[in-house]
Every structure is written in C-alpha cells, then in structure tokens.
Structure 1
Amino acid sequence: MGFLDRVTNKRAMLAQGLAATGAARALEALGGRRAAVFTYHRVAEPGEGNPYYDNVVSATPEGFRAQMAMVRDRFRVVGPEDLIDDHDDERPRAVVTFDDGYRDNFDAALPILDELGVPATFFIPTDHLERPRLPWWDHLAYIVKSSKLDRFEVERAPGDPRPIVVERADGDRSAAVMTLIRPVLTGEVADRDAFLQRLEAAARVDVDSPALGRELFMTWEHLRKLVDAGHTIGSHAHGHVALGSLDDRSARRELALSRTILEAAVKRPVRTVAYPYGWPGAVSDRTFRLASDVGYRIGFTSFEGIVRPGFDPLAVPRLNVGCGDTTAMLRSRAALWGAFGRSWL
C-alpha cells in the first residue's frame, strides 16, 4: 500500500468516525445557511480497464449511487441559478455538477440521477463536441498505458537537454502518467500538441484522437436528452483553456462563443459557466467580470469551499469529488467547511 492509499484510508476512517459518533450531524447544525456544490468529472471504473487518465474518474457507479442518496437525504438539491434566486434556507442546499461532458455522464450517471430524483448541471466545452478529440490529459494517459515499452524518454521541447524519463514500475502505469502530467500543468511544456506528437513517437503508439474522442464524450443529442430529462446544461468555455492566461478579447470569445453554440443546440438559455481548470491563475477577477459582461449569471470555480450568504455569484467555490472519496467523507467535508470554514478531509 502506497503513501497516498494510507492517507486516503485515514481520511475515510476519520469521516466514518464523525458520522458514527454523531459529530457530523452536530457540525451540520453549526453550519448555518450554506450550500455545497459538488464537482464530478467521470463516473466509471478506474484502473486496468480504463485506458485514459484515472484521476479524472470521480466515482464508480456504485459509489456515485451512494453519494447521490446521501446528497438527496442530507440536502435540498437545487439548480445552479437557485443559489441566487432561492432564499428558502430551511435545509442546506446542494448543487451537483459535472465538468467536461464525458459520455459516462449520460450512460452511467444519468440513470442514477433520474432514479433518485437528483437534478444535475453538465458543463460542456463546446469545441470538444464540434471537433471530437481526446483532451490532452486523456491523450497523454492513453499513450503511456498503450505503450509496449517499459522505459522511454521524451523531450520537453526540441533541443531541451532535460528529457522526461518515463518508466513503468511492476506493470503500474499511474506513476508514469503523473511523470508527464506534472510538467504540462506547471507550464514546462509550452506546445502541448507538439509534445503529444513527440510522446507518441517516443512511446511508439499511434493515437486516433478524433475516433477515440467521439467514443469518450457526449454528443449534441445526449445534451438535448439531458435537458428533456430536467437537467441543466452550462458552459465550460469553448476550447477548455485557462481563461486567465488569455487576453480580454480571447477570453471573452471563449465565453461568448460557447454560450451561443449551446443555446442554439439545446434551445434553452445558458446562463451558467464553470471555468476550465478554475483554480487561482486559471481564473481571476478579470475572468469573472468578462463572464458577467457576456451574460452569465453564475460562474463556478475550482476553489475549494462551500457557498455562504453574500457570496460572489461569478466566483462560486465547489467541493471536488475524487474516486477515493467515500460518502462519509463528502458529508463530513461539507460539514467541516460549514462549521469551521475549512476541512481536513
């Protein structure tokens, strides 16, 4: 068992203890007026059967069912704009959100949501539906997991004397994937498309990104069926780029174009946005202002936290759900944020 597994187990045990002793209920009573926004990406089985990036899997179908039952029982589940318009605080509120538009949102999550009567909001990067392809993180993981090589090297940039060494340890590719994910996220790799091409060559893997993207993500027809079932479609900008890294004109276009395309596709107003990546630096006060300028009423970040009275509707915090999170951990995290303004889980 690795270090991260031990930490996750300790967190799960602590959360279970809070629930079993009644402490979680007491913390919830201390929380006052609040709302929790839960962020999911994929609902699937991680591991050997998943050829893509495992860290994007938020829950297994079994785990997701248990979490949604808890959310339904402990919260009043509302739509995103209800955070602004609905002031009935008899029960704490919750919003369930999905980022990126993965196909398993429709195939695996939707039946559970509808069975339990839980509405959700799906944030869509429109360029991924207009031009299906693998996003860089899944493309990268697919290469590493598909390679027959146990070790290879790839240049960060042409001529860079510091190649990234990728090694498979005892058949496990997860550490090798993270070896490549980190330098991309930290900006050490400037041209991601060129880097992926070098990675394919080094790993000796050919990737049909458009064909795989069509299988991995939802279609326009899926979105229309989600809306017909009573769920909400929101924007995840157009090209899934960090809006804070763009100039005003480019960021405005990302936000406005996505909204225009989605409204034409689903025949509904689109007034909600989840900013791609959504952490500090990927978004800023300028991003929030631009989102308001192009007509969004409420915007969701990846800032960790819950929603309290007086919140900025264009900078809403969320609780990101990971595959190691148990139902008790989600409940306890929301309760700790409500009571103390932070969480240790």
Structure 2
Amino acid sequence: MKDLIKRTIVGSRLLQAAGRLRGPSAAILMYHSVMEDPGSQEAYLGEIILSQKVFRQQIELLARRFRPTSLDQVERFINGKAEIPDRAVVVTFDDGYTDNYEIAAPVLNELGVPATFYATVECVDRRMLPWPARLRFCFRKTKQKRWTDSSGKVWPLSNKPEREGAFLRACDECCQLTGAVQEKYVASVANELDNQVPVDSGALMMNYDQMRALVRQGHIVGSHTLTHPNMAYVNSDVARHEMIESKRRLEQELGNPVLHFAYPCPALSPHWTEGTVAASREIGYATAVTTNGGLARQGDDTLRLKRIGSRETVEALQWSLECAFAGHLR
C-alpha cells in the first residue's frame, strides 16, 4: 500500500512542481560498488554492492527523468560562476573498486552520464582492500567464538548479529588509526580471529591505468585519502598528510590536477571538522563531499558538500530524489 501511494505521488508530478519552486540545486549521489553478482564479494564489501541490473536501471532513470551533471559544473554553480539544469544529479563512487571501471563505467558511458571516482590511494598502490573490507571479511568468516577489543571487553561471535556488532566495534577503533598503526591493528584482529584475508583480494581495487582511462572517458578521479581513516578522529598533522599525499600521488600518476576530495565515513561521527574543511581549502581542493544528507545549493561551502546515499531499487532512488528536490529528504 505504501509503495502504491509513493508511485501515485511520483506519477502526479506534484513533487516535481514543489521542487521547481525551491530553485536550482543538485543531488550528489554516493555509490561504492557494482557487480553482476553482489553475493560473490559480500564477505568483503557487505551491503555496499549494488547489482549491475539495478545500477543500469538507476542510471537509465537519471538519464530519463533527471539531468546528469559533472561535479566540476556543480562546483562552478555553487560559486556563482555557472548555471546547472533543473533537477541536476551528480554520480560519485567511493573507495576505488575495479568494478567501477569494468562494470559501472560502461553503463555510464553508454548513457552519457559523467561520474566522479574517489580512490583510496594507498590501497591502490599496495593492491589491498580498504581496512573496513578486510575487517568485515575476518569477522564474517571466522570460526572463533569470541573477540576481545582494546578495552578488554569480550564480544561473542556465535551468530551473524553478534559478529556484526563486534565488527562495528573494531571499525570504531580502527577508523582512528592510519598507516603502520592501522595495519598493525588489522593484523592483530586477523590473528585473533584466525582468519587471514586472501592476498588476491587486492585485485578488487582499480589500478592507475584504469583511472587514466576513466579520465580520458570524461570522468573525474578524486582523492579518498591514503588509508581511509575518519578524518575527525586523527590529529591535524595526520589529516593534512592524508589529504596532501593522496592528492600528490594521484596527480603524479594521472598527470592532471586533482581538485576533488571525499571524506571517508568508516565509523563514528562526525567524519569531518572545521579544521579539516580549512585544511582542504588551503591544500587546494575545490570540493569535498561528505556523507551528510542533502542537496547542493548556490552559496554552499564546496568543501563540505552533502550527498544522498544509493538505494537498493530504482523505485527507492526515484522516491528519495523526488523528495529531496521537493525539500523532504528521505
């Protein structure tokens, strides 16, 4: 019944009319992974994988009912230097998985939809998954019955909900670490759970040749830090290093300026601060996207842009976008 009501409201175009009264804005969508068979890598990526079939349906919806726009254009619009079309949408991908290039990009190219891909640079360099994916694998595949966190609390692991709770606790701890300390933490969890992450799992990450191809195809590649920490929970020097070095490394490989940044949101809240916003501006980023929900409007700070998360179905995505443009984020 609820779905029928939603379809009726969307079909009536009432939400579209309400959106036009609110003036120009852009919805920045956040995706992570697209696969033909999401279940094949669920142990690593969990629920952030969207099926290829649903992704195509969603991009077809964007091309048909909305106005796909580049992040560069939206940045100029926010700063009063350009216009954007009514019902503008921007597609973004976080982390830098190879399926972004192999599966998502062909759909985007076919339908003429530009996108921005944010790479976790050290994971690309070292051919390894971001730490949340590696921890998820350890907890989902372990045969151990308990795990002890850094405070000494013992977490039971007898069933899926218990393992998920322990995994989230491990994320809370690991998101505050970077570099060698972060890797040491992941290794200690893997050892305690007696569950080492397969070396070949790094093949799930994009390489620089694929990123260069995306740029040639008209897409944007941006930074998602070096090691995927929560930038609000590391000290300011470490946060600056994550921003500066990821930008430098990408520019070295891609041969063009890297102007766009995405805050990782692996665990805990907030995932950005006034200090990180100031640092990103000083370092030379033109935009930084968050996982805070909402639209991008003229006059917004381009270094704390809001996004809308992906949805599991095309109907849910359309409802979310229509509500957002009408001023009722869902």
Scaled by the length of structure 2, the TM-score of the pair is 0.87
**Which amino acid counterpart does residue 337 of structure 1 have in structure 2?**
A
Measure, in 2, the Cα distance between the counterparts of 1:72 and 1:193: 41
> How far does residue 297 in structure 1 lie from its aligned partner after superposition?
1.0
- The Cα offsets for residues 125-152 of structure 1, whole Å up to 9 and x where unpaired, read as 11111122222221122223434x3x61
> How far does residue 55 in structure 1 lie from its aligned partner after superposition?
2.1
Whether 1:180 and 2:166 are equivalent positions in the alignment is yes
Moved over 6 A (4+): 188-191
> How far does residue 201 in structure 1 lie from its aligned partner after superposition?
3.9
Whether 1:18 and 2:13 are equivalent positions in the alignment is no
Q: Which residue in the other structure is 2:195 paired with?
A: 205
Task: Report the secondary structure of 2:196's partner residue.
Answer: coil
Q: Which residue in the other structure is 1:152 paired with?
A: 145
Measure, in 2, the Cα distance between the counterparts of 1:190 and 1:298: 23
Whether 1:312 and 2:304 are equivalent positions in the alignment is no
> How far does residue 104 in structure 1 lie from its aligned partner after superposition?
0.8
Task: Report the secondary structure of 2:136's partner residue.
Answer: helix
In the TM superposition, 1:156-175 aligns within 5 A as: 156-157=149-150, 160=152, 162-168=153-159, 173=160, 175=161
The partner residue of 1:77 within 60, 65, 68 is: 68
Task: Report the secondary structure of 1:53's partner residue.
Answer: helix
Whether 1:265 and 2:256 are equivalent positions in the alignment is no
**Which amino acid counterpart does residue 145 of structure 2 have in structure 1?**
F
**Which amino acid counterpart does residue 153 of structure 1 have in structure 2?**
R
Q: Which residue in the other structure is 1:55 paired with?
A: 47
Measure, in 1, the Cα distance between the counterparts of 2:137 and 2:281: 37
Q: Work out whether residues 24 and 331 of structure 1, in 8 Å CA contact, stay in contact via their aligned partners in 2.
A: no
Q: Which residue in the other structure is 1:217 paired with?
A: 205
Bigger Cα displacement from structure 2, 240-249 vs 275-284 = 275-284
- The Cα offsets for residues 102-161 of structure 1, whole Å up to 9 and x where unpaired, read as 1111111011011111110101111111122222221122223434x3x61111138x1x
Whether 1:334 and 2:318 are equivalent positions in the alignment is no
Q: Which residue in the other structure is 1:232 paired with?
A: 220
Unpaired segments of 5 or more residues in structure 2? none
Measure, in 1, the Cα distance between the counterparts of 2:40 and 2:75: 42
Q: Work out whether residues 189 and 195 of structure 1, in 8 Å CA contact, stay in contact via their aligned partners in 2.
A: no
Q: Which residue in the other structure is 2:113 paired with?
A: 118
Corresponding pairs, count: 320
Whether 1:250 and 2:242 are equivalent positions in the alignment is no
**Which amino acid counterpart does residue 304 of structure 1 have in structure 2?**
G
**Which amino acid counterpart does residue 46 of structure 1 have in structure 2?**
P
Q: Work out whether residues 87 and 325 of structure 2, in 8 Å CA contact, stay in contact via their aligned partners in 1.
A: no
Whether 1:88 and 2:83 are equivalent positions in the alignment is yes
Q: Work out whether residues 144 and 176 of structure 1, in 8 Å CA contact, stay in contact via their aligned partners in 2.
A: no
Task: Report the secondary structure of 1:47's partner residue.
Answer: helix
Q: Work out whether residues 155 and 198 of structure 1, in 8 Å CA contact, stay in contact via their aligned partners in 2.
A: no
Q: Which residue in the other structure is 1:321 paired with?
A: 310
> How far does residue 75 in structure 1 lie from its aligned partner after superposition?
2.6
Q: Which residue in the other structure is 2:57 paired with?
A: 66
Task: Report the secondary structure of 2:102's partner residue.
Answer: helix
Unpaired segments of 5 or more residues in structure 1? 1-8
Scaled by the length of structure 1, the TM-score of the pair is 0.84
In the TM superposition, 1:275-286 aligns within 5 A as: 275-277=263-265, 280-286=269-275
The partner residue of 1:32 within 20, 23, 26 is: 23
Aligned-residue identity in percent: 25
Bigger Cα displacement from structure 2, 239-248 vs 256-265 = 239-248
- The Cα offsets for residues 183-235 of structure 1, whole Å up to 9 and x where unpaired, read as 134449977645544543454323234x311x110011111111111111111
Change (3 A) 1:264 1:15: farther
Task: Report the secondary structure of 1:291's partner residue.
Answer: helix
**Which amino acid counterpart does residue 96 of structure 1 have in structure 2?**
V
Measure, in 2, the Cα distance between the counterparts of 1:236 and 1:23: 37
> How far does residue 89 in structure 1 lie from its aligned partner after superposition?
4.0
**Which amino acid counterpart does residue 13 of structure 2 have in structure 1?**
G
- The Cα offsets for residues 215-264 of structure 1, whole Å up to 9 and x where unpaired, read as 11001111111111111111112221122223322221211111111111
Q: Which residue in the other structure is 1:293 paired with?
A: 282
Change (3 A) 1:178 1:90: same
- The Cα offsets for residues 47-80 of structure 1, whole Å up to 9 and x where unpaired, read as 36633131222x2111111111111223322221
